[in-house]
A and B are shown apart, each in its own frame.
Chain A
Amino acid sequence: MQKLLLGDEALAQGAIDGGLSGVYAYPGTPSTEITEYIQGSKQAKDRKIRSDWSANEKTAMEAALGMSYAGKRSMSCMKHVGMNVAADCFMNAAVTGVNGGMLTVAADDPGMHSSQNEQDSRYFAKFALVPALEPSSQQECYDMAYEGFELSEKFNVPVMIRLTTRIAHSRAGVATRETKKQNEISLPKDPRQYVLLPGIARRNYKKLLSIQAELEKASEESKWNKYFDGKDKSKGVIACGIAYNYFRENYPEDKCPYPVIKVSQYPLPRKMVEKMAKEVKEIIVLEDGYPLVEEQIKGFLAKEPVRGRLDGTLPRDGELNPAIVAAAFGLKINPGADIPAVVAGRPPAMCTGCSHIDMYTALKEVMQKYGTGRVFSDIGCYTLGALPPYGVINSCVDMGASITMAKGAADAGLIPSVAVIGDSTFAHSGITGLIDAVRDKSPITIIISDNESTSMTGGQDSSAVGIIEKVCEAVGVDPEHIHVLLPLKKNHEEMVKVISRELEYKGVSVIIPRRECIQKAVRRKKKEAKEKKQ
């Protein structure tokens, strides 16, 4: 029988069945459910598949590379911006090559449902010169993970699977296959394969370049790329990943007049595209994310008009949907009634009882003395402190940037400057910035709003639990200026007093308001009550 699975879950099950030995990840929407599924899978537990959370995406991918070095099949999973953190490893892993099959899953978020940008991870695969797979269905999510390890081992390169939010968080029936054995431990045949000294790196890089033609051939022959002929040659359509579904919603196979190429494996199958270009008057490219394919084919098809996101046939930004695709073909859309004027926006908000609320209430009161524009924040639930009624924070850029931006602003003379960062983000990328601040004796106050959880993504375990004060002290923060507070309404006056005092200190202070995430506390209490009953 088919299993009803999210795209994320289908990918996870495909990896388990495909012989996975370890998954490494830092939570990030829309990728989180891949690793959570493996953590919750009895089958994965029985097969001793390693699945705990990593401190960040770079440590995750490096561990996956290490497991691959030892001959086993590994996978690292992240949201698109996690690829920026892991890029140092990713670009170089393409040059080292792999031993056991290695999958890198990048889950993009076109439309920015839960992200700060909509960068397209396919560029990273192209940049690193490695294959990328882009599923158009939950079944393909499963199959691509299942078969991706072999693709990686065959060509000796990491393989990227690129998801987008819609495929990651949409459910459908998935047929599973027989479970493969995990690889035995084995060392790379060449003991210097992973030593990227210039001489060896140059040799490896030439090898990587030399297989590009084979990778392209694999794309031409891939069952995931498909050429459909059509009688009407006025247009040809190239539809990538999930955009293929939106196209078929408008033009089902039995009612489609145009030639179509479905693209789900990269590098782009150039011969297929050239065949289409010879036959048709113009090509429309449908792709969710950036106009990667559109730009690329403009480079090698001088004479054919290519339409897509670059010439305005489709919007340059945002997520695709069936209506946008219909409009690109001049099809009529019949929207329902307008949204009545009475409907108000409902932005996300911090939960009632959240510890960040007590922290921000105190901070807001203190900052009145100094004026606005001095609080640098970070990525997590507490980013909602930018919205009313708080409106306290002035930045949210990338993981860990609160501490380093506060430092830079203080260096420029904005004294005092404040950083607000969560516990999990601190472990992810805050510690290195703290080392810089201590070294320069920067006059900044760092608030580590510790709810003992990675909450925005659903309450995963935080790598920072139990170590924050020790880490701060160990990297050189004066223990006199490290304070742990209990963020509750009744402690408001004390919090105001401590924050006010530390803002006047001309060095690095760390204030740690600590109270368990309210959602996590509710779940924990429910679980405890259930266990008590049994």
Chain B
Amino acid sequence: MKIDLILCGVGGQGILSIAAALGAAALRNNLYLKQAETHGMSQRGGDVVSHMRISDKPIHSDLIPIGAADMILSVEPMEALRYLPFLSPKGYVVTNTTPFKNIPNYPSEDDIMKELKKLPNVVIIDADTIAEEMGSKRSMNIVMLGAAAPFLDMPYESFENGLRDIFGRKGDDIVNANLAALKAGYDFSMKNRK
């Protein structure tokens, strides 16, 4: 198996917490992993991307080749579109709907939605609202991970165990809140996948 995943958003949105949970899940399954991150200047509100590669065989490149990604997982709708050249024709786009408007020329949200809806394999999820309704606004990222889970070739339990590994130190309440967020995202995708 192999998963080539483009994780994207805006600097400060915390996409690296998704990467950490996925990484922990992959390690649990004794898989190989490479994950290239954006650090430095772009973290100041610029677009950020992480190339995440998981495989049962050794991985060569730290970067995903163009046209080869199995998924674009974006916590911001416009950012999901920025990386389309990386997506394989069979690949999925899973994106949050909440725009992050820190530039004066941010396009109209309708135009962005139109582009997203044109895609053959796409899940558009309002992860912020789902997280907020569950009483934990900060678990938006984990809702997104849950929404991605049905399309990633790993058992659901390994995502749960990944979260336990990462949040275990913070106590049962935090672990359970994140497990619930994961489930909420997962259920949404199962219901709404095209």
Question: Digit string of B1-38 for contact with A (CB within 8 Å is 1, else 0)?
Answer: 00000000011000000000001000100001111111
A334 to B44, CA, bound (A): 32
Q: Do residues A249 and B84 form an inter-chain contact, with CB atoms below 8 A?
A: no
> What are the residues of chain B within 8 A of A347 when measuring CB–CB?
46, 103
Q: Do residues A338 and B39 form an inter-chain contact, with CB atoms below 8 A?
A: no
Q: Do residues B38 and A113 form an inter-chain contact, with CB atoms below 8 A?
A: yes
A340 with B65, Cβ < 8 A, contacts A173-B33, A348-B11 known:
no
A493 to B37, CA, bound (A): 42
For residue B91, give the distance in angstroms from its CB to the closest CB of chain A: 7
Interface centre among B33, B60, B67, B103 (most CB of A within 10 A): B60
**Which of these binds chain B: A321-329, A400-408, A427-435?**
A321-329
Q: Do residues A249 and B89 form an inter-chain contact, with CB atoms below 8 A?
A: no
A348 with B65, Cβ < 8 A, contacts A171-B23, A338-B85 known:
no
> Is B66's beta carbon under 8 Å from chain A?
yes
Q: Which B66-114 residues have a C-beta within 8 angstroms of A?
A: 66-67, 69, 78-79, 81-82, 84-89, 91, 102-107, 111-112
Partner of A344, one of B27, B32, B78: B78
Measured as residues with beta carbon below 8 angstroms from the partner, the interface class of chain A is 35 or more
Q: Do residues B39 and A30 form an inter-chain contact, with CB atoms below 8 A?
A: yes
Question: Digit string of B105-126 for contact with A (CB within 8 Å is 1, else 0)?
Answer: 1110001100100010000000
> Is A246's beta carbon under 8 Å from chain B?
yes
Partner of A339, one of B59, B82, B107: B82
> What are the residues of chain A within 8 A of B89 when measuring CB–CB?
334, 336
Interface centre among A173, A339, A346 (most CB of B within 10 A): A346
Residue of A nearest to B110 (CB): A342
> Is B63's beta carbon under 8 Å from chain A?
yes
Residue of B nearest to A167 (CB): B62
Q: Do residues A166 and B87 form an inter-chain contact, with CB atoms below 8 A?
A: no
A345 to B34, CA, bound (A): 27
Q: Do residues A252 and B85 form an inter-chain contact, with CB atoms below 8 A?
A: no
For residue A28, give the distance in angstroms from its CB to the closest CB of chain B: 9
Q: Do residues A343 and B62 form an inter-chain contact, with CB atoms below 8 A?
A: no
A381 with B63, Cβ < 8 A, contacts A344-B103, A344-B107 known:
no
A333 with B103, Cβ < 8 A, contacts A33-B39, A457-B40 known:
no
Partner of A456, one of B11, B33, B41: B41
> Is A483's beta carbon under 8 Å from chain B?
no
> What are the residues of chain A within 8 A of B88 when measuring CB–CB?
336
A2 to B87, CA, bound (A): 30
> Is A212's beta carbon under 8 Å from chain B?
no
> What are the residues of chain B within 8 A of A388 when measuring CB–CB?
104
> Is A234's beta carbon under 8 Å from chain B?
no
Q: Do residues A339 and B40 form an inter-chain contact, with CB atoms below 8 A?
A: no
> Is B187's beta carbon under 8 Å from chain A?
no
Q: Do residues B42 and A348 form an inter-chain contact, with CB atoms below 8 A?
A: yes
Q: Do residues A351 and B84 form an inter-chain contact, with CB atoms below 8 A?
A: no
For residue B61, give the distance in angstroms from its CB to the closest CB of chain A: 4
Partner of A29, one of B35, B41, B85: B41
Partner of B60, one of A32, A252, A384: A252
A347 to B82, CA, bound (A): 13
A166 with B67, Cβ < 8 A, contacts A4-B23, A114-B41 known:
no
> What are the residues of chain A within 8 A of B84 when measuring CB–CB?
336-340
Residue of B nearest to A326 (CB): B65
> What are the residues of chain B within 8 A of A173 when measuring CB–CB?
27, 32-33
A4 with B66, Cβ < 8 A, contacts A173-B33, A350-B44 known:
no
> Is A169's beta carbon under 8 Å from chain B?
yes
A32 to B37, CA, bound (A): 14
> What are the residues of chain B within 8 A of A179 when measuring CB–CB?
none
Residue of B nearest to A168 (CB): B39
Residue of A nearest to B102 (CB): A349
> What are the residues of chain A within 8 A of B111 when measuring CB–CB?
342
A326 to B79, CA, bound (A): 26
Q: Do residues A384 and B44 form an inter-chain contact, with CB atoms below 8 A?
A: yes
> Is A245's beta carbon under 8 Å from chain B?
yes
A113 to B10, CA, bound (A): 15
> Is B43's beta carbon under 8 Å from chain A?
yes
Residue of A nearest to B106 (CB): A344
> What are the residues of chain A within 8 A of B39 when measuring CB–CB?
29-30, 32-33, 114, 169, 458
For residue B86, give the distance in angstroms from its CB to the closest CB of chain A: 6
Known contacts A4-B33, A348-B11, A348-B44; 12 further A-B pairs (Cβ under 8 A): A29-B39, A246-B63, A249-B60, A249-B61, A322-B64, A334-B67, A336-B66, A340-B84, A345-B103, A346-B79, A348-B43, A456-B41
Q: List 30 A-B contacts (CB under 8 A).
A: A32-B39, A113-B40, A114-B39, A114-B40, A167-B62, A171-B33, A171-B36, A173-B33, A245-B60, A245-B61, A248-B60, A252-B60, A322-B61, A322-B63, A334-B89, A336-B66, A336-B67, A336-B69, A336-B85, A336-B86, A336-B87, A336-B89, A337-B87, A337-B119, A339-B84, A347-B103, A348-B11, A349-B44, A456-B41, A458-B43
Interface residues of B (CB under 8 A from A): 10-11, 23, 27, 32-47, 51, 59-67, 69, 78-79, 81-82, 84-89, 91, 102-107, 111-112, 115, 119
